């Protein structure tokens, strides 16, 4: 049987009424959820003692609830889980007490066992001692053993299996992590990790508020953002102070200051490639994406099979539909529709179709705020996010529709913005911007057949004017007339396309008429 994963252990005292039959049912439920029963006593006895009235028809179970999530609030989260399990089994049971079990581990220094048989008795020259010490640090005399503990304890552990009667075993230890002089008691593993997380979480809002303050208009918003940046910086410094050891508080404070400076340099543009600060939209979008990814990770890591069916199926269906639509290049289709073209008129390379699909999936991620919020709620043990009541199917349907609608609106806005930029650049006679592999360029058109033999679609061709060319799709040259804002489609074997210097420069005159029937 695979071991059960969990983050927290909580000792819970549960009073179950109803007699032997209900007691066996409660024990079966505890075992099914992976909550071992540590002890059981009649009501009025055991650890709770006289806090409960004696009752021969009830029994107090001491169980260990194992659950995911943060340490803070895990006691209430465990109590809610037990209460909902008893309610689902239609048992009369009451959670009387819950308390987390703190089992954090000390971070002992690590050492490697080395042999001292190479050392010669007597006083050696200084250069020889330095050379031997350097060889030892490089692992030249390692025996392959590993120990953890304080300096003296590590040496005792290395010599623990020495032969009987040996006066001084020929082994010693060398440090592996640079903590050989760190005094006991040592740092706690989970406490240090939480301090690092708090340091980063305080530094990110501080840097974001600072970047917004540098881009905001003068006045109250800038002062508010500056105060927010200062508040986040104070939180980061306090987290660094809490992370440090007694007597060496400066270490954590220095780490907090460095973290703040690095994030602030990125936010204000000092370390960016173009030297420009992040815009407010980019800052907020980055914050939302990071929050969504973190919330989804917190949600997925603690899913049960029932929650996989309830949540993953709508998400997977949404991603599948989005990927299917993106395979047909929905962004390119919307872009073509804005210019009165058809998707088949744009000959887009597959690599750019893939890039457009990735862009659509990124847009979809911004619409996944609801499941991300659910992940944070479950991690913080909020009562409404406690498993046991099931998931409302209406919520999943609404989530599915909202995610599709959000991605669709963002795709529509992206393509519409690209169309507006293309039309505006064409009106000015400038080179239009590209859009996921679609690169319109100014082109002069010359007929290679008689004017009365020319077949095509769109307004009458005027070779004196440059047109926007979207390439050749199949056997059709796809042009766009900036004057009429309509497409012009001509057989590729009946025209010659040449580059134009700009949209304002006239094309060289050619003999013959350009009128078509």
Average pLDDT on 406-411 reads 75
The answer to whether residues 280 and 209 touch, using CB atoms and an 8 Å cutoff, is: no
Evaluate the omega torsion of the peptide bond into residue 185 and state whether it is cis, within 30 degrees of 0.
yes
Rounded distance between C-alpha atoms, residue 189 and residue 176, angstroms: 17
- Please indicate, yes or no, whether residues 338 and 408 belong to a single structural domain of this protein: yes
Of the chain, the percentage scoring pLDDT greater than 90 comes to: 14
CATH number (domain holding residue 22): 3.30.70.260
The DSSP string of 241-299 is: HHHSPTT-HHHHHHHHHHHHHHHHHHHHTSSSSS-PPPPHHHHHHHHHHHHHHHHHHHH
Rounded alpha-carbon distances, angstroms, from residue 156 to 162, 177, 185, 216: 10, 19, 18, 62
What residue spans of 341-490 are helical by DSSP H?
Answer: 350-366, 369-379, 393-428
106 three-state secondary structure? strand
Domain membership of residue 272 as a residue range = 189-278
pLDDT value at position 515? 41
pLDDT value at position 513? 42
pLDDT value at position 516? 37
Average pLDDT on 307-327 reads 58
pLDDT value at position 245? 65
Rounded distance between C-alpha atoms, residue 74 and residue 96, angstroms: 15
Exposed (0-12), middle (13-18) or buried (19+): which is 457, by Cβ within 10 Å?
Answer: exposed
Find the length of the chain. Answer: 517
Instruction: Look at residues 100, 127, 161 and tell me which one is the last residue of a structural domain.
Output: 100
- Please indicate, yes or no, whether residues 330 and 396 belong to a single structural domain of this protein: yes
Each residue's pLDDT tens digit, 167-187: 567 788 888 887 777 777 788
Name the band, by pLDDT with cuts 50, 70 and 90, for residue 138. confident
Q: Is residue 180 part of a domain?
A: no
Rounded distance between C-alpha atoms, residue 216 and residue 218, angstroms: 6
Q: Is residue 1 part of a domain?
A: no
Token pair 């669709």 in the structure block, residue: 408
pTM (2 d.p.)? 0.64
Q: Is residue 220 part of a domain?
A: yes
pLDDT value at position 80? 92
Name the band, by pLDDT with cuts 50, 70 and 90, for residue 144. confident
pLDDT value at position 86? 94
Q: Is residue 431 part of a domain?
A: no
DSSP β-ladder status, 441-447 and 495-499: antiparallel
| Strands of the 486-491 sheet, one edge to the other | 486-491, 476-481, 467-473, 441-447, 495-499
The more confident residue out of 119 and 219 is 119
- Please indicate, yes or no, whether residues 304 and 249 belong to a single structural domain of this protein: no
- Please indicate, yes or no, whether residues 199 and 134 belong to a single structural domain of this protein: no
Rounded distance between C-alpha atoms, residue 61 and residue 67, angstroms: 18
Q: Is residue 515 part of a domain?
A: no
Rounded distance between C-alpha atoms, residue 147 and residue 124, angstroms: 29
Q: Is residue 338 part of a domain?
A: yes
DSSP annotation of 188: B
- Please indicate, yes or no, whether residues 218 and 252 belong to a single structural domain of this protein: yes
Each residue's pLDDT tens digit, 477-497: 888 888 888 888 888 877 888
- Please indicate, yes or no, whether residues 268 and 216 belong to a single structural domain of this protein: yes
Closest CA to 464 of 425, 431, 510, 412: 510
Rounded alpha-carbon distances, angstroms, from residue 321 to 326, 359, 402, 408: 8, 15, 14, 12
pLDDT value at position 393? 53
Is 502's pLDDT higher than 90?
no
The answer to whether residues 106 and 187 touch, using CB atoms and an 8 Å cutoff, is: yes
Each residue's pLDDT tens digit, 220-274: 577 788 888 889 888 888 888 877 766 566 777 888 888 888 887 877 766 655 5
Average pLDDT on 100-118 reads 87
Name the band, by pLDDT with cuts 50, 70 and 90, for residue 200. confident
Sequence-distant (6+) residues with CB within 8 A of 261 are: none
pLDDT value at position 23? 95
Instruction: Look at residues 223, 243, 278 and tell me which one is the last residue of a structural domain.
Output: 278
Is 46's pLDDT higher than 90?
no
- The rounded radius of gyration (Å) of the Cα atoms in the chain is 35
Rounded distance between C-alpha atoms, residue 85 and residue 81, angstroms: 6
Q: Is residue 210 part of a domain?
A: yes
Rounded distance between C-alpha atoms, residue 173 and residue 149, angstroms: 11
pLDDT value at position 276? 64
pLDDT value at position 327? 47
Instruction: Look at residues 152, 175, 198 and tell me which one is the last residue of a structural domain.
Output: 175
Q: Is residue 124 part of a domain?
A: yes
- Please indicate, yes or no, whether residues 149 and 220 belong to a single structural domain of this protein: no
- Please indicate, yes or no, whether residues 16 and 85 belong to a single structural domain of this protein: yes
Each residue's pLDDT tens digit, 329-383: 677 788 888 887 877 777 777 777 777 777 776 676 666 777 788 788 888 887 7
pLDDT value at position 323? 54
Domain count for the chain: 5
Is 1's pLDDT higher than 50?
no
Residue 172 structure tokens? 């010693």
Name the band, by pLDDT with cuts 50, 70 and 90, for residue 25. very high
- Please indicate, yes or no, whether residues 419 and 491 belong to a single structural domain of this protein: no
Lowest mean pLDDT among 73-77, 221-225, 468-472: 221-225
Of the chain, the percentage scoring pLDDT greater than 70 comes to: 81
pLDDT value at position 232? 87
- Please indicate, yes or no, whether residues 166 and 197 belong to a single structural domain of this protein: no
Name the band, by pLDDT with cuts 50, 70 and 90, for residue 406. confident
- Please indicate, yes or no, whether residues 302 and 409 belong to a single structural domain of this protein: yes
The DSSP string of 389-421 is: S---HHHHHHHHHHHHHHHHHHHHHHHHHHHHH
Sequence-distant (6+) residues with CB within 8 A of 259 are: 199, 200, 203, 236, 240
Burial 134-169 (b: 16+ CB within 10 A, else e): eebeeeebeeeeebebbbebbbebbbeeeeeeeeee
Name the band, by pLDDT with cuts 50, 70 and 90, for residue 313. low
- Please indicate, yes or no, whether residues 392 and 478 belong to a single structural domain of this protein: no
Report the range out of 59-68, 214-223, 301-310 with the highest average pLDDT: 59-68
């Amino acid at each position: 049987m695979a071991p059960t994963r969990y983050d927290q252990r909580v000792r819970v005292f549960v009073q179950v009424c109803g007699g032997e039959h209900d007691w066996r049912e409660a024990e079966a439920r505890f075992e099914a959820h992976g909550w071992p029963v540590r002890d059981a006593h009649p009501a009025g006895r055991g650890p709770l003692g006289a806090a409960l009235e004696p009752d021969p028809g009830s029994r107090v179970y001491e169980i260990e609830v194992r659950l995911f999530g943060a340490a803070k609030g895990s006691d209430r989260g465990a109590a809610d889980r037990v209460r909902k399990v008893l309610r689902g089994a239609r048992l009369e049971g009451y959670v009387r007490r819950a308390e987390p079990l703190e089992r954090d581990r000390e971070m002992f220094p690590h050492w490697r066992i080395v042999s001292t048989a190479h050392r010669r008795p007597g006083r050696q020259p200084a250069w020889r001692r330095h050379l031997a010490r350097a060889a030892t640090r490089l692992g030249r005399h390692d025996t392959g053993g590993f120990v953890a503990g304080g300096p003296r304890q590590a040496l005792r552990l290395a010599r623990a299996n020495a032969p009987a009667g040996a006066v001084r075993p020929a082994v010693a230890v060398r440090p592996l992590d640079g903590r050989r002089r760190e005094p006991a008691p040592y740092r706690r593993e989970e406490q240090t990790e939480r301090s690092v997380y708090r340091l980063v979480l305080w530094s990110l809002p501080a840097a974001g508020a600072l970047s917004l303050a540098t881009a905001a208009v003068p006045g109250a918003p800038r002062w508010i953002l500056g105060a927010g940046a200062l508040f986040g910086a104070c939180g980061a410094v306090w987290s660094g102070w809490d992370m440090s050891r007694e007597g060496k508080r400066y270490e954590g404070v220095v780490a907090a200051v460095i973290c703040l400076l690095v994030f602030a340099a990125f936010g204000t543009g000092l370390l960016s490639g173009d030297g420009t600060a992040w815009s407010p939209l980019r800052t907020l979008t980055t914050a939302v994406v990071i929050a969504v990814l973190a919330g989804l990770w917190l949600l997925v890591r603690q899913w049960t099979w029932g929650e996989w069916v309830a949540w993953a199926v709508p998400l997977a269906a949404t991603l599948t539909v989005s990927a299917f639509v993106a395979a047909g290049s929905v962004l390119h289709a919307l872009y073509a529709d804005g210019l009165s073209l058809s998707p088949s008129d744009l000959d887009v390379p597959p690599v750019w179709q893939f890039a457009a699909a990735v862009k659509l999936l990124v847009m979809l991620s911004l619409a996944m705020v609801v499941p991300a919020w659910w992940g944070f709620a479950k991690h913080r043990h909020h009562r409404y996010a406690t498993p046991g009541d099931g998931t409302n199917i209406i919520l999943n349907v609404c989530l599915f529709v909202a995610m599709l609608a959000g991605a669709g609106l963002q795709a529509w806005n992206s393509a519409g913005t690209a169309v507006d930029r293309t039309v505006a650049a064409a009106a000015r006679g400038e080179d239009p911007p590209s859009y996921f592999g679609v690169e319109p360029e100014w082109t002069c058109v010359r007929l290679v057949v008689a004017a009365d033999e020319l077949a095509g679609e769109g307004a009458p061709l005027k070779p004196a004017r440059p047109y926007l060319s979207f390439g050749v799709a199949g056997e059709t040259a796809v042009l766009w007339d900036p004057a009429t804002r309509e497409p012009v489609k001509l057989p590729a074997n009946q025209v010659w396309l040449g580059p134009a210097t700009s949209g304002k420069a006239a094309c060289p005159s050619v003999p013959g008429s350009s009128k078509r029937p």
